[in-house]
Amino acid sequence: MNTEYREEPCRSALNRVSGMDFDWSLNPFMGCAHRCTFCYVRSFEQRADRPFDDRYGRSIRVKINIAQVLRRELSRPSWKRDLVIIGAATDPYQPAEGKYRLTRSCLQELARARNPLGIITRGTLVARDIDVLQEASRRAEVSVSFSVATLDERVWSATEPGTPPPRQRLRVVRMLVDAGIKAGVGIAPVLPGLSDDPAQLEAVVKAARDAGATFAWANVLHLKPGTREHFLAELGKQWPELSARYQALYQNRAYLAKAETQPVIHHVQELKQRFGIADRRRVRLEPPPEPVQIRLPV
């Protein structure tokens, strides 16, 4: 099945978000050709009465004017230069970016406005934009988080069918860090019975350290309606022996209890300390300190 690209203008670029560690997101595309089976956006699509099953990612909305709209929004007197996360709902470096260069244009606008930004991606095309990310890093806080949930070839290919191989992503982490850009690894989502084995987690953390990752974090799979149905259907095709376990784990709930997730999170924290993951960049592109505003008496 071919992917349809719909070039449509947008009226707003920045999206207010809630329940996250940040308040603003930016998504140059709607829909994602990576088609990860566990993608939480599938639940949003179901609520919006849009395809969330195998058809998800086959029709991509391209916000062709997003950079121009972003420039206007960043120039508003009310804008306080809050952190903007690019890629919270769709990968900004999916294949369409190679043609449309919308993410790059948005990075240029954020750099021009000296606005802090973060990127979440599984796409290696971000290496193309090292020059813009360097300039942005000289002007404001910048970080790039690569999602690398596993190094297992079968688990990766079955659950992230449209993404570059994990080790290719790690090579780009090294490229970014060597260029002075803060880049790290998100081990997410960790899949019970598939990628939560201690040896597998250790392999990812060690590979992240070897790639120079400045940070690492982990999160365990959650399954909201829409994502749940699709993921469990794909799981049944690939690993039918795990179907009963997942049905029991996620019965009547989207999130696992802390007693089930904390051991994974704590193990990753221990691995980070053991392997010494920290910001060890040899090149530093630090933004200048904010100018101090002195108010004179009147």
**Average pLDDT of span 36-41:** 89
Question: pLDDT tens digits, residue range 47-94?
Answer: 666 766 677 778 899 999 999 999 999 999 999 999 999 998 899 999
Residue 283 resides in a domain? no
- Overall average pLDDT of the 98-106 stretch: 98
Within-domain flag for 285: no
254 is in which domain, residue-wise? 4-275
Mean pLDDT, rounded, for 156-182: 97
pLDDT grade for 272, boundaries at 50, 70 and 90 = very high
One-letter identity of residue 256 = L
> Residue 29's closest CA among 73, 55, 2, 67?
67
Residue 141's identity, in one-letter code, is E
Residue 74 lies in a domain: yes
**Global pTM?**
0.92
At 212-244, the pLDDT tens digits run 999 999 999 999 999 999 999 999 999 999 999
pLDDT of residue 294: 46
For residues 190-212, give the mean pLDDT.
Answer: 98
Q: What is the pLDDT of residues 13-31, one digit of tens each?
A: 999 998 778 899 999 999 9
- Residue-level pLDDT at 58: 83
Q: What is the mean pLDDT of the chain?
A: 93
Strands (E), the chain: 4-8, 14-16, 24-26, 29-30, 59-63, 84-86, 117-121, 142-147, 183-190, 216-220
| Distance between CA atoms of residues 72 and 74, nearest Å | 6
In a domain, residue 280? The reply is no
Which region among 7-11, 202-206, 261-265, 286-290 has the lowest average model confidence (pLDDT)? 286-290
Mean pLDDT of 150-174: 97
Residue 290 confidence class, pLDDT cut points 50, 70, 90: low
Residue with the bigger pLDDT between 206 and 48: it is 206
Per-residue pLDDT, 166: 98
Cα distances from 96 to residues 147, 152, 162, in angstroms, run 19, 26, 12
Cα(187)–Cα(184) distance, rounded to whole angstroms? Answer: 10
- Give domain status of residue 206, yes or no: yes
> Which CATH number covers residue 72?
3.20.20.70
Number of C-beta neighbours around residue 65 at 10 A: 16
Please answer whether residues 60 and 5 qualify as being in contact, where contact means their C-beta atoms are separated by less than 8 angstroms: yes
